Structure 1
Amino acid sequence: MTIFQRDLFTCQRIECGKLEGNTALLVCDHKVPHRGDERLFWDETNLQTLCKACHDTIKQREEQSSLHMRGVWH
């Protein structure tokens, strides 16, 4: 809730910027995947508000396309 309030309940994707009062339609997203790093997981500067639509489509597509660069695939 702290991150949603900080970001004024607004999707932080520049292309979107949707103001969403229903927090069920918002996601607190990690800018940089934490991959188990607790420091990165809880770092509020690494968190952003995304609307569920942006998170579930655009953000997931970006993360999936970068798996080979993050050392996930051998």
Structure 2
Amino acid sequence: MAKLKTISPLVDTIKPLVGRAKGEKARDHHRRQTQPWRAWYNTSRWERLRRQAFERDMYICQRSGEICAGTGNDPNSPVANHVTPHHGDASLFWDLNNIETVTKRIHDSLIQSEERRAAAEGQWGA
């Protein structure tokens, strides 16, 4: 009796077409692919603009009154928040009057929940 040979599959496995990969790196990659304006955050122009906002606001959170003295991912590190979400609108993105200083804690909790709620209600789009 002859041995059976293994036959290589004719169809490669493919990535799932529904949803996307889990994790922060995958989320960032997806956002860079679907939102090209995210590259604006990596420019020296953005660094200058956010520093201007921090200095104008004297590194004080405009929502809580807390001093933004942290660095990196500290809850009290300063974040330049767009008051009106820009969703790729360059005039809103680069407008110093549309940027406020907030702590990372406020940005990652209160402001993000406000934006999710507004998007769900259709106020700012997706």
Q: TM-score range by the shorter chain?
A: 0.7 to 0.9
Q: Normalized against structure 2, the TM-score is what?
A: 0.52
Per-residue deviation, residues 16-59 of structure 1 (Å, max 9, x unmatched): 11012335411000000001100110000000000000000000
Question: Is 1:17 matched up with 2:62?
Answer: no
Aligned residues: CA RMSD: 1.2
Distance in 2 between the 1:35 and 1:60 partners? Answer: 14
2:68–2:102 Cα contact (<8 Å) kept: no
More strand by share: 1
Q: Which amino acid aligns with 1:57?
A: S
State the 1:71 CA deviation. 3.3
Please say which structure displays the higher CA radius of gyration.
Answer: 2
Structure 2 regions of 5+ residues with no counterpart?
1-50
Distance in 2 between the 1:71 and 1:19 partners? Answer: 32
Q: Closer, same or farther in 2 for the Cα pair 1:22/1:9, shift >3 Å?
A: same
Distance in 2 between the 1:9 and 1:71 partners? Answer: 30
Q: Normalized against structure 1, the TM-score is what?
A: 0.86
Per-residue deviation, residues 50-73 of structure 1 (Å, max 9, x unmatched): 00000000000000011132333x
Structure 1 regions of 5+ residues with no counterpart?
none
Spell out structure 1 runs of 4+ moving beyond 4 A: none
Q: Which has the higher contact order (CA 8 A, sep 6+)?
A: 1
2:60–2:67 Cα contact (<8 Å) kept: yes
